[in-house]
Amino acid sequence: MFLVSQLSSIISKYISYLPAGLAAAIASIGIEDFKYASIWKDEFVGTLLMIFFTFSPGKWVGVDNEYFAWVCHAIGVVAADKIGGGQHVNPTVSVTMYSLGKCNFSEMYVRICGAMAGGLVAFPLFLKFSDSLSLNALGGPAFDAETSSDEDFDMAFLSEFLAAFILLIAIYFLNWEVNFGAQHYWIKQTLTAVVIRYLIVVFPAAGPAINPMLGTAWAVFDSGAASLPTDTAHYVIYWVASILGGIASAIVYVIYAGGTVFGKSIALGPIKSTAETSSSKKKKKK
């Protein structure tokens, strides 16, 4: 009993240093006999890079020049993606890709957990970094349900929904529908960075996060890493609204290009194949 008591005391002492939810996120590495362990690692590292490169503009660089901070943010988006290997680093993207059949449920879940683990570690880690160099502390997306009106809540929900919808539409178009030739990666990723900056400016009501992981990881850090958010509004705005926006974008894309959403066909479309068939017939007539 003494050993059990001592072990319990040691665990209780050190477990408090772990951000809430981190242990559960790490445990997902073992799903299906560690089949997706490398994907988890890539999402974890990719998230650390994404937060480092895209949250530092305006805080560590470009502090006194908003336009320079925007340029640094764009460079950060490209750099994080290139160095990190193009991971999802966003639960909404992972759920949407699952809905389109681009990954299975287990992979989706592991990607979400890897990203969450990265976010939960990133904010306290980079606080240590900024403190050691006397830099400004990073900020994060937040929505205060206690001081907000119903109108504020509706606006925050709509902002996260629309931002996620537009971001995913841009991802489909830039990655699957256009080809910029030899410089395709650099052009499409730069345009993605422009879209993200545009969304940050146009939809500020809830931060914005445009990423459920960022909303929750910041909330945990901002609370002292003691617990996950307890207010329902947090999850409705940062998770439900964002994921619904992603799924809505998937439906629109399937209507345009064909395919399925969660394994189900859409009665409308595909517009793309109809247009291509019509174009092909016109060329034959000529």
What percent of the chain lies above the pLDDT cut of 70? Answer: 89
**How far, in Å, are 248, 256, 263, 276 from residue 271 at the CA level?**
17, 5, 19, 9
Q: What is the DSSP string of the chain?
A: -HHHHHHHHHHHHHHTTSPTTHHHHHHGGGHHHHTTHHHHHHHHHHHHHHHHHHHSBTTTBSSS-HHHHHHHHHHHHHHHHHHHTS---SHHHHHHHHHTTSS-HHHHHHHHHHHHHHHHHHHHHHHHHHHHTTPPPP------TTT--HHHHHHHHHHHHHHHHHHHHHHHIIIII---GGGHHHHHHHHHHHHHHHHHHH--TT---SSHHHHHHHHHHHTTSS-----HHHHIIIIIIHHHHHHHHHHHHHHHH--EETTEE-SS--HHHHHHHHHHHHHHH-
Asked if the model's pLDDT at residue 8 lies above 60, the reply is no
Cα–Cα distance, 198 to 220 (Å, whole number): 27
- Stretch 245-258: mean pLDDT: 97
**pLDDT of the residue at 219:** 93
Cα 261 from Cα 252, distance rounded (Å): 10
Query: pLDDT category, 241, cuts 50, 70, 90?
Result: very high
| Residue 268 reports pLDDT greater than 80 | yes
Give yes or no for residue 58 having a pLDDT over 70: yes
Give the predicted TM-score (pTM) of the model: 0.89
Cα separation, 112 vs 95, in Å, equals 9
